Amino acid sequence: MDPAVSRETPSTPEVARRAFSSARLPVAEAYAALLATDGVVRGLIGPREAPRLWDRHLVNCALLGELLPDQAEVCDIGSGAGLPGLVLAIARPDLRLTLVEPLLRRTTFLDEVVERLALDNVEVVRGRADALHGVRTFDVVTSRAVAPLDRLLSWSMPLVAPTGALVAMKGSSAAEEVAGAAEELRRWGCAEPEIHLLGEDWPEVSPTVALRVAWADPRQVSWPLAPAAKKRHTAGGRSRSTSKRRHRT
């Protein structure tokens, strides 16, 4: 390993002990080390991000767990290097995570992290989110910086169970995204979106803005989508092939 890269591995700040339990902190530290080394070398994390992994990425993603119910089945679309999916799996071992990512180099990294950290509550799926439409549903569908809300709805809502919700990490323009997606929200039959500011009382990190979207009337939700509805709501194009790999210790 390049010594110049390994020196970028960040030390564990005190705020990490608040975000992760004492039992899970060593796992989070191991993940941070992998992100700061292999993640940088493989181009999954920018070199300038390595020194601020904890406050800018890991702790912020862990805060999203406040919106997830106990024992939930969670699908993280566009997982990339595992943010927020792997962080949630580490911080909340009661959750069952499915990480969906189309790029091979990213799923290879995710598979390696899952195996090295013995995360038996994680499944890695190589493919686009729409490859799972009509096949599986989840209690929660998460994402981070994947797409504006109007497009995110078409990828996420077909995966959301009738009593579930989309929970996406967003930036300061979350309210503007909600306003711009008003027509799509009505078309999908969504309830009024909720904007949550997580970690406001954590002075060590910037608050996490999360957008939660549920169904307006769960009784009217039935998947898989009828062909006409799927054609209307889902982005066009042929799905890439999907392969699944489940890890167990």
Q: Which DSSP symbol is given to 11?
A: P
Cα–Cα distance between 123 and 113 in angstroms, integer? 11
Peptide bond into 84 cis (omega under 30): yes
Q: Can you tell me whether residue 106 is helix, strand or coil?
A: helix
Nearest to 27 by CA among 105, 97, 92, 107: 92
Cα–Cα distance between 207 and 203 in angstroms, integer? 9
With 0-12 CB in 10 A as exposed, 13-18 as middle and 19+ as buried, what is 5?
A: middle
Q: Which DSSP symbol is given to 237?
A: S
Cα–Cα distance between 171 and 194 in angstroms, integer? 14
> Is 83 assigned a ligand-binding role in the annotation?
yes
Total residues belonging to the chain? 249
> Is 127 assigned a ligand-binding role in the annotation?
no
Cα–Cα distance between 89 and 143 in angstroms, integer? 14
Peptide bond into 10 cis (omega under 30): no
Report residue 60 as tokens: 């912020």
Cα–Cα distance between 76 and 158 in angstroms, integer? 13
Cα–Cα distance between 54 and 28 in angstroms, integer? 10
- Binding positions are 78, 83, 144
Annotation: binding site for S-adenosyl-L-methionine: 78, 83, 144
